[in-house]
Chain A
Amino acid sequence: MLKNKAWMKLDNAAKIYPAAKRRNWTALFRLSAELDEPVDPLILEQAQRNTVARFPFYAQRLRRGLFWFYLEQLEGTPPVQKDVANPCVRMRLKENGGFMFRVRYYDRRIAVEFFHVLTDGAGGLIFLKTLVAEYLRLKHGLQIPPCEGVADCADSPSAEEAEDAYARFARRIGASRKEEPAFFIRGTDENDELVHITTGMLSVEPLKILCHQKNVSLTEYLTAVLILVIQSIQARCIPNQRHHKPVKICVPVNLRQFYPTRTMRNFASYVNVGIEPKYGEYDFDEILTAVHHGMGAEATEKKLNAKISANINSERNRLLRFAPLFLKNAALKLTFHLVGDRLSSSSISNLGVVRLPEEMTPYVKRMDFVLGPLSKTRVVCAVLSYNGCVNINFTRKIRESAVEREFFRFLVRQGLHVKVESNRLSLTRPARSFSVKEEASCPTAFTAE
């Protein structure tokens, strides 16, 4: 039973986000579910109230302490919002009543956008599933058993769901976080407010067969495709192979698979896997091998624990702990600016196969996972499978669409059927004319860092 805690500390992964946050950029991600009929905002509002009452650790306000930021319990819920054409571009906490998540609806879709301080994709997914289940219960009187990650809103919140699992499972010895910077995709930057979302929809089965033939997982396969694409982009913009930088992809790893925890706050780490094209051009099978074994070596309990332990250790460092918040913030900002997301060329986050209780499946047609734009990385990718369909969402802050284009063309060449959808139609403003000749001029569109 959760005592009504007035405040709690930020978990270890969350600590960087308030410092890295800028006026026009917040680390966000978004999960959405498409129903079989238009969403009723009034019922959604009620469903949100019930869901937030079940998960009070999501109704928090970010406050400044003397030494650290902390989270303070908020009463009530943020208003349910109409969805927008440019999701995840920013979240001004003040405009949102201090809340760090928001529920949005458009036509048949219910979407939740989270500031990463609160939780990671896995936690957010439980929230969305419960929200949709509660909505369907209110709308159609469905009796949905609490399984497959759906919580019962009648239950009381549990303290275990709000625990800081990093602190609980970190061990003594951390590993160095030093890594070589990766090739950086560049292009014509769009305005802060503009973001391109391109969704590719594939059937799971044929893709699974391909992965099976190569003996790799779906995440590894898609990561390898992304590396292949970025390698060719680098080769096009930096003719001198001597100057080629490593092409690395940041793959978030859910730590809940290794540890017995029910936490719904952040509990993920990442692995940067990649290749070094300066030693020569890799073909797809070589990349696949590098990714498969790279993940095999890095995405292990020991290695990931060393990574989180290093973070926990630096957080427990006396000197840092007793530095006032504004100094700490400045230092974190600088570190984030210097290192930040420079260690990877892009990021691919796979939430895996999402299952819903049988009672819900007829009503939920489709689910999506979208990463908000990262601070520096221009193109990122989020993957989710539901109902036999893999949805690959690319989030892009530059005008050039080379990464997605080559990515999906590769999948098409493998004999897969890809259906593509985007938010372009909704971004119609006079200034936003897209160059048709982009493909021809592509080599100049990218320069290396």
Chain B
Amino acid sequence: MSYCVHCGVELAASEKECPLCQTEVVNPRSPWEKPVRTPYPQRFEAMTAQIDRSFFATIVGVLLLIPLLITVFCDLATGGGLSWSLYVAGGLALCFVWFLLPLFFKKYRPTAFSLVNCTAAILYLALINHLMGGSWFLPYGLPISLTASVLIVVQIVLIPRKKQTGLLPVLAWSLLCIGLFVVAVNLIVEGAAGRPTVPGWSVYAFVPCVLLSIVVSVLERRKDLKERIRRRLFF
């Protein structure tokens, strides 16, 4: 019979350390031995969710290969080389990265996944630009998509901390980001066209976004108002 020196509770024979404070049982007269009868068996009910998920992702990934192979085959058969089927290939690759890749990971890592997703999207844009022989990617496509990526990643990094407080702070941040994004697009377009880089039309979108964002933030502070709105919208 042992007692925990910290908690003062008697410990059952099965306890090697106190289950309350993790202090090890030190009884110089009788060192701890695993008892013949333990309160619970060693059998463990396992969860198989992770295996299921990656299995599902593999199956869907293999299924995605079917349309891919068909288009590549048709393209080769009709044109003699790979041309339009590359759009499909790129699109399918993008789908894979966006929707299936996260399923292979045990833990949901929003920041890492969103970085990978944005990179994949930018690469796909570059591919389209290349296939079209276009020249819009470097002046317009890249800067705009980079800005969007940065805003998305910033947003996602902030969300986990905001998660506990609810939807409103996330909404406020999103509105602010949309406003900033519109201004950035405006500046990039103006800059690429060789005009002076001052925000023009985007101000009309930016100001309402920021104002709405402020309203939402104020709403968040006013608990009673928030409660009243929630009560009205409750179903």
A interface residues (Cβ-Cβ under 8 A, vs B): 23-24, 82-87, 89-90, 106-108, 178, 191-193, 196-200, 331, 401, 404-405, 408-409, 412-413, 417-429, 434-436, 438-439, 449
Is the CB of B41 closer than 8 A to any CB of chain A?
Answer: yes
CB nearest neighbor in A for B34: A425
Residues of chain A with a CB closer than 8 A to B38's CB: 425-426
What is the CA–CA distance of A417 and B8 in the complex, to the nearest angstrom? 9
Q: Is the CB of A420 within 8 A of B20?
A: yes
Chain B positions within 8 Å of A23 at CB level: 49
Q: Check if B47 is an interface residue, CB within 8 A of chain A.
A: yes
B86 to chain A, nearest CB (A): 38
Could you list 9 further interchain pairs (A-B, Cβ under 8 angstroms) beyond the known A421-B19, A422-B19, A426-B41?
A: A90-B45, A107-B37, A193-B47, A418-B9, A419-B12, A421-B12, A422-B12, A423-B39, A424-B19
Assess whether B20 is in contact with A408, with CB atoms less than 8 Å apart: yes
**8 closest Cβ pairs, A-B complex:** A422-B19, A421-B12, A405-B20, A412-B8, A426-B40, A423-B40, A419-B10, A193-B47
Q: With contacts A423-B39, A425-B15 known, is A24 near B49, CB below 8 A? A: yes
Q: Is the CB of A409 within 8 A of B7?
A: yes
Would you give the shortest CB distance from B79 to chain A, in whole angstroms?
46
- The answer to whether A85 and B10 have CB atoms under 8 Å apart is no
User: In whole Å, how far is B40's beta carbon from the nearest beta carbon of chain A?
Assistant: 4
Please measure, in the bound complex, the distance between the C-alpha atom of A20 and the C-alpha atom of B107, giving whole angstroms: 22
Can you show 12 pairs from A to B with CB atoms below 8 A apart?
Answer: A82-B41, A85-B40, A85-B43, A90-B45, A401-B19, A401-B22, A408-B9, A409-B8, A424-B15, A425-B16, A426-B38, A429-B44
Q: Is B18 an interface residue (CB 8 A)?
A: yes
* B interface residues with partner A (beta carbon < 8 Å): 4, 7-12, 14-23, 34, 37-47, 49, 164, 231, 235
Minimal beta-carbon separation of B151 from chain A (angstroms) = 27
- Whether the Cβ atoms of A420 and B21 lie closer than 8 Å is no
Alpha-carbon distance A4/B112, docked complex (angstroms): 57
Interchain nearest-CB distance for A164 vs B (Å)? 24
- State A423–B47 Cα separation when bound (angstroms): 18
Residues of B within 8 A of A417 (CB): 10
Q: Find chain A residues with CB under 8 A from B39 CB.
A: 199, 421-423, 425-426
Beta-carbon contact of B49 and A412 below 8 Å: no
Q: Is the beta-carbon distance between A412 and B7 smaller than 8 angstroms?
A: yes
Chain B: minimal CB distance from A360 (Å): 22
Contacts of A331 in B (CB 8 A): 235
**CA–CA, A358 to B157, complex, Å?**
63
Contact B7 A408 (CB under 8 A): yes
A421 to B164, CA, bound (A): 34
A192 partner residues in chain B, CB cutoff 8 A: 47, 49
Given contacts A409-B8, A417-B10, A420-B10, contact A84 B21 (CB under 8 A): no
Residues of B contacting A434 in the complex (Cβ-Cβ under 8 angstroms)? 17, 22
CB neighbours (8 Å) of B42 from chain A are: 85, 426, 428
Determine the chain A residues whose CB is within 8 A of the CB of B10 once the complex forms.
Answer: 417-420
Complex formed: what's the CA distance from A412 to B235 in Å?
Answer: 47
Q: Which residues of B contact A436 (CB under 8 A)?
A: 22-23
Whether A83 and B43, one on each chain, are in contact in the complex, defined by CB atoms closer than 8 angstroms, is yes
B14 and A421 within 8 A (CB)? yes
Minimum CB distance partner of B223 in chain A: A180
With the chains together, A23 CA to B53 CA distance in Å? 12
Tell me how far the C-beta of A201 lies from the nearest C-beta in chain B, rounded to whole angstroms: 8
B166 to chain A, nearest CB (A): 9
Beta-carbon contact of A412 and B45 below 8 Å? no
| Residue from B14, B43, B46 within 8 A of A425 (CB atoms) | B14
